[in-house]
Amino acid sequence: MKDDPNAHIICRDLFKIYKRAGLEVVALRGLDMEVATGEMVAILGSSGSGKSTLLNILAGLDKPSAGHIRVGTRDLLNISDAELVMYRRLDVGFVWQVPGRNLVPYLSAVENVSLPMAIAGVQKRERRKSAGDLLSALGLEGKLNRQPHQLSGGEQQRVAIALAIANSPPLLLADEPTGELDTESAAEVFRLLQSLLFLL
C-alpha cells in the first residue's frame, strides 16, 4: 500500500508484543491506520484490546515490536533516543485519564502550563503570558494561581489540555480523558477537545 503524503499518522501492519516472565502478550496484531492532518479520531474497543498500547506508542513512550509507523516526518520504529526526546517535547501532547497524573501537584495552573514552554526554551515572561492566555481561553481565568487540589476534576483536565497543547504540537493524544469525571464535566471536556480543532 502506498503512503498518503497528507496523512499525519500512518501505521501499517503494526505489532506490539509484551514479553514478561516468559509470557508473550500480543497487544497489537497487524494494525493499519491512517489519520489526516486536522482530523479528530476516537478509538473504541473493549478492555485489553490495545487502545492504551497504541496511544503510548504514538506518544513515543513505548516502542512497537514490528511494522511501520510514521508520525509527521518521524519513523517511530527506527527513531534515535535523541530524536525521540525532541518528538515528545515538541511533536505530541498527551492527556491521561487520571487528572493527578497530568499535573505537578505543587505547581499552580499557570506554572503547570508554563512547564513545557520552559523546556522548549520560551522566556519566562512570555511563557507566563501565553500560559495565562491559554488557560483563560479554556475558561479558567481567575483560577490561574490555584494548585490542582484546589480545582475540580473537570477543571484539572482543562489545565491538562492546556499543558498538552502549550507548545502547539501537531498531535494531541488523550487516553480516556473523561474517564474519572462526572457526566457534566465529561461533556464539557469533550466539547473543549472538539473546539480545539478550530482553535489550533
Return residues touching ligand ATP (CB under 6 A). 18, 20, 25, 27, 45, 47-53
Minimum CB separation from ligand ATP for residue 67, in Å? Answer: 16
Q: Is 1 exposed, middle or buried (0-12, 13-18, 19+ CB in 10 A)?
A: exposed
Residue 178 as a binder of Mg ion (CB under 5 A): the answer is no
Nearer of residues 29 and 124 to ligand ATP, judged by Cβ:
29
Residue 157 as a binder of Mg ion (CB under 5 A): the answer is no
Q: Is 106 exposed, middle or buried (0-12, 13-18, 19+ CB in 10 A)?
A: exposed
Nearer of residues 6 and 46 to ligand ATP, judged by Cβ:
46
Nearer of residues 27 and 189 to ligand ATP, judged by Cβ:
27
Number of residues binding to Mg ion, judged by CB under 5 A: 2
Pick the stretch among 15-23, 43-51, 85-93, 164-172 that binds Mg ion (CB under 5 A): 43-51
Residue 45 site contact among Mg ion, ligand ATP, none (CB < 5 to 8 Å, cut-off depends on kind): ligand ATP
- CA atoms 53, 54, 58, 59: torsion sign: negative
In eight-state DSSP terms, residue 168 is -
Residue 52 as a binder of Mg ion (CB under 5 A): the answer is yes
Residue 121 site contact among Mg ion, ligand ATP, none (CB < 5 to 8 Å, cut-off depends on kind): none
CB–CB of 55/31 below 8 Å?
no
Please state whether 21 falls in left (phi above 0), alpha (psi between -120 and 50) or beta.
left
Nearer of residues 56 and 185 to ligand ATP, judged by Cβ:
56
How many CA atoms lie less than 13 Å away from 48 in the CB half-sphere? 2
Residue 5 site contact among ligand ATP, Mg ion, none (CB < 5 to 8 Å, cut-off depends on kind): none
The string of DSSP letters for 38-55 reads T--------TTSSHHHHH
Cell representation of residue 105? 501537584
**Which residues contact Mg ion by CB under 5 A?**
51-52
